[in-house]
Structure 1
Amino acid sequence: MTLALEIVLVITSILMVVFVLLHKGKGGGLSTLFGGGVQANLSGSTTVEKNLDRVTVILCLIWIACIIGLNLTQTFAVPS
């Protein structure tokens, strides 16, 4: 059980990093430093961006559940 949770945690961590980096810059960050702020303000929120948000939130919830599950298995593990 612990090994499965650790594997899911690593996979979701890597996927979350990838999906967060795929997001469009909202302005005020490093993306405006390289001229990305004007384009981000002109284009509206697309369906792709909304779906990317949903996938990122779902991955985040799975990630949090894995952390809580690992913590519970460590806390209530029977010492050998």
Structure 2
Amino acid sequence: MNPLLIILLILLMVSGLGLIVFILLHSGKGTGVSDMIASAVYSSQSGTSIVEKNLDRITIGLAVVFMLCLVALMLVYPQGVINR
């Protein structure tokens, strides 16, 4: 396998798993269980807390890395065939 392919696939998997984790860490906006837990932990009464802003930044960064890896894989391997 090509070293570029290995690097792109590792980045794609790490950013994908990171996206799953950080999206699940966001607090809910409704009146469900996640909202009760988030209000007890963060105890913020108005606006978003610093923790939420950092979660947003990390999530956006991981999404950008994920999309760039997908585009790079499409450019490097346009037909989806990986020769060994």
Q: Is TM (by shorter chain) over 0.5?
A: yes
Q: Residues 35 and 72 of structure 1: is their aligned pair in 2 closer, same or farther, counting only changes over 3 Å?
A: closer
TM-score, normalization: structure 2?
0.73
- Residue 2 of structure 1 and its aligned partner are, at CA, apart by 1.0
Match in the other structure for 1:36: 35
Alignment check: 8 A CA contact 2:12 2:70 kept: yes
Describe the superposition over 1:16-57 as per-residue Cα deviations: whole angstroms up to 9, x where unpaired: 100000001012xxxx344836x4xx4531011001100100
From 37, 46, 49, the counterpart of 2:49: 46
Read off the aligned partner of 1:61 and give its amino acid letter.
V
Paired positions, count:
74
Which structure has the highest helix share of the two? 1
Structure 1 residue corresponding to 2:62, chosen from 59, 62, 72 = 59
RMSD: 2.7
Identity %: 37
Instruction: Find out whether 1:11 has 2:10 as its counterpart.
Output: no
Q: Distance in 1 between matches of 2:24 and 2:34?
A: 17
Q: Mark the runs of 5 or more structure 1 residues left unpaired by the alignment.
A: none
Structure 2: segments with no counterpart, 5+ residues: 40-44
